[in-house]
Amino acid sequence: MAVIDVSKVDTTPGNDAVCPFSPPEGWEGDSAAYVELMRSRYRHLMHGQRMMVTASFARREPIQVTGPFADEATKIINSMKMNKAKPT
């Protein structure tokens, strides 16, 4: 089982084994496709739980979001922080 550092979110494709906000290796979607992927992942038990843990942590501590979809992931995490619900 992977150890997850929720203070660091890397949206680089292929990092999805440890970061639910990372698309799978070789993924070539755009911003809209990324948001749709995150919505789908939120409904998945493993990814959804990790996304919620990340948002919960971000309510209390700063997090570092990097990678090609950093802006999108930040918006999703902020939405989850505020709503305590699924990403927009």
Q: Is residue 15 part of a domain?
A: yes
Q: Is residue 2 part of a domain?
A: no
Stretch (H or E) spanning 60 = helix 45-60
Residues 6 or more apart in contact with residue 23 via CB below 8 angstroms:
11, 13, 14, 16, 29, 34, 37, 69
The whole domain housing 41 covers: 8-83
Q: Is residue 62 part of a domain?
A: yes
The pLDDT assigned to 84 comes to: 58
**Mean pLDDT to the nearest integer, 13-32:** 92
Q: pLDDT tens-digit profile of 25-84?
A: 999 999 999 999 999 999 998 899 999 999 999 999 999 999 999 999 999 999 998 775
Check whether 3 has a pLDDT greater than 80: no
How many domains does the chain divide into?
1
Q: Is residue 88 part of a domain?
A: no
